[in-house]
């Protein structure tokens, strides 16, 4: 019986990989093209900034509903409904372009972005929380690793494919291609057994706000979970300093050529991909909290090292070699944090809470990112980049090193209650 369940889980895992690849790659390419349209057809940078704010704003507005709906109702139905909304929005957008021949109507572009974000919010929450129903426990880690690798690979391919497709195909054809990929995801979803592994379901009679409150109460009741999430949210805030700072330093301070800058960005993606493949091929990490803790300390050390190296009078080629190596390591270590932590949360949070918990965590993380972008964008305008990197790295190391002792979190235990 167990062997048959494992075999069925393997089949579902293969289908999920194909579905994730089609959906993630298509979405990444379309997102890149939409960003390109906004940049090309607007006179102000504010429009691009607004396009980046759509995600956090929609997530915040949907926060009380998304996770509760996912936990209360059939996850397969929600995924199909979400994909259907994407197809409808894309179809209307393609129809508008075909009939008016206007590719630069920013109102239609923003309406499309909002519809796609609503769809993505339900789709991603339902997909993540359904993992323990779709595959056996030992396959959850592998699924998370492969998803992370596909995400990194898509981000690597999207700019290249996006530019090529945008230059050779009419926009409505490109949108039609994305509709085809979304339809493929629906077809695969219909063939999946969302009850392969049985788990307790949320109370179908409870209201959405009651379910949402239960999700918040779950986080409040488990201090280890609460403090771990607080740490990772704070670290994500600091990491926006790296996201803003590394391109700024390479282009504005060190004056890297486009070729050098492109290679360092590729090295970052390569780090994501290599470690993602490695983690998908090995067994689940025994102590994910310990690995994440060590990895964050290492990231803090790398950030501080960047700040120190920027004080040195090195040649452009030497700086390039240094940032190439740092980008590769940073990409790999970031993956070594994300995958084990996602696996840990999936395994320790009861299935009937996962939609709400993942949605709350995802929204909170998204809300901090724009704040970090603003803080560090201003910081790099008025302070030396070397000083900011040193401060950011030192704070990251200090907070992370002291965290287990201060909050009495046992990082050698995978249980919520120690």
Per-residue pLDDT tens for 336-362?
A: 877 777 777 777 777 777 777 777 777
Confidence of residue 240 (pLDDT cuts 50, 70, 90): confident
Backbone angles phi, psi at 20, to 5 degrees: -65, -40
pLDDT for res 133: 79
Structure tokens at 382: 């008025």
Could you tell me the CA-to-CA distances from 290 to 200, 281, 407 in Å, in that order?
29, 20, 15
DSSP state of 283: P
d(CA 319, CA 323): 6
Count of H-run helices and E-run strands, the chain: 14, 0
What pTM value is reported for the model?
Answer: 0.71
Domains 2-194 and 213-406 are alike in CATH topology: yes
d(CA 272, CA 155): 10
| CATH class in words for 2-194 | mainly alpha
pLDDT over threshold 80, residue 57: no
**In the predicted model, what is the mean pLDDT of the chain?**
80
pLDDT for res 393: 92
Confidence of residue 199 (pLDDT cuts 50, 70, 90): low
* CATH number for the domain formed by residue range(s) 213-406: 1.20.1250
Domain boundaries, the chain: 2-194, 213-406
Direct distance between the N- and C-terminal alpha carbons of the chain, in angstroms, rounded to an integer: 33
Could you tell me the CA-to-CA distances from 390 to 255, 399, 400 in Å, in that order?
21, 14, 15
pLDDT for res 41: 67
Backbone angles phi, psi at 101, to 5 degrees: 60, 25
Using an 8 Å Cβ cutoff, are 69 and 215 in contact? no
State how far Cα 345 lies from the chain centre: 15
pLDDT for res 65: 77
């Amino acid at each position: 019986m167990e062997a048959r369940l494992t075999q069925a889980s393997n089949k579902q895992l293969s289908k999920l990989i194909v579905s994730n690849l089609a959906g993630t790659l298509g979405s990444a390419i379309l997102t890149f093209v939409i960003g390109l349209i906004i940049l090309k057809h607007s006179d102000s940078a504010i429009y691009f900034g607004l396009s980046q704010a759509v995600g956090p704003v929609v997530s915040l507005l949907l926060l009380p509903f998304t996770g509760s709906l996912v936990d209360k109702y059939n996850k397969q139905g929600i995924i199909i409904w979400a994909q259907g909304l994407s197809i409808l929005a894309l179809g209307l957008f393609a129809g508008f372009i075909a009939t008016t021949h206007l590719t630069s109507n920013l109102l239609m572009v923003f309406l499309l972005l909002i519809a796609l974000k609503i769809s993505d919010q339900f789709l991603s929450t339902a997909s993540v929380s359904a993992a323990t129903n779709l595959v056996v426990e030992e396959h959850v880690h592998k699924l998370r690793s492969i998803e992370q690798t596909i995400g990194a690979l898509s981000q690597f391919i999207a700019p290249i494919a996006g530019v090529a497709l945008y230059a050779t195909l009419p926009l409505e054809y490109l949108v039609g291609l994305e509709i085809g990929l979304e339809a493929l995801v629906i077809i695969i979803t219909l063939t999946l057994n969302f009850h392969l592994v049985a788990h307790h379901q949320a109370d179908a009679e409870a209201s959405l706000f009651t379910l949402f409150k239960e999700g918040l109460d779950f986080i409040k009741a488990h201090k280890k979970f609460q403090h771990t999430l607080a740490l990772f949210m704070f670290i994500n805030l600091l990491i926006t300093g790296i996201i803003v700072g590394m391109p700024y330093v390479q282009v504005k301070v060190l004056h890297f050529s486009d070729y050098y800058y492109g290679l360092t960005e590729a090295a970052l993606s390569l780090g994501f991909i290599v470690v993602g493949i490695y983690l998908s091929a090995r067994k689940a990490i025994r102590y994910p909290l310990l690995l994440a803790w060590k990895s964050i300390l290492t990231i803090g050390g790398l950030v501080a090292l960047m700040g120190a190296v920027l004080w040195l009078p090195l040649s452009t080629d030497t700086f390039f070699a240094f940032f190439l190596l740092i980008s590769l390591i940073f990409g790999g270590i970031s993956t070594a944090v994300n995958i084990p932590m996602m696996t840990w949360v999936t395994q320790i949070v009861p299935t009937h809470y996962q939609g709400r918990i993942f949605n709350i965590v995802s929204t909170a993380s998204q809300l901090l990112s724009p704040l970090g972008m603003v803080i560090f964008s201003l910081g790099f305008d008025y302070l030396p980049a070397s000083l900011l990197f040193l401060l950011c790295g030192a704070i990251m190391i200090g907070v992370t090193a002291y965290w287990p002792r201060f909050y009495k979190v046992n990082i050698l235990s995978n249980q919520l209650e120690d």
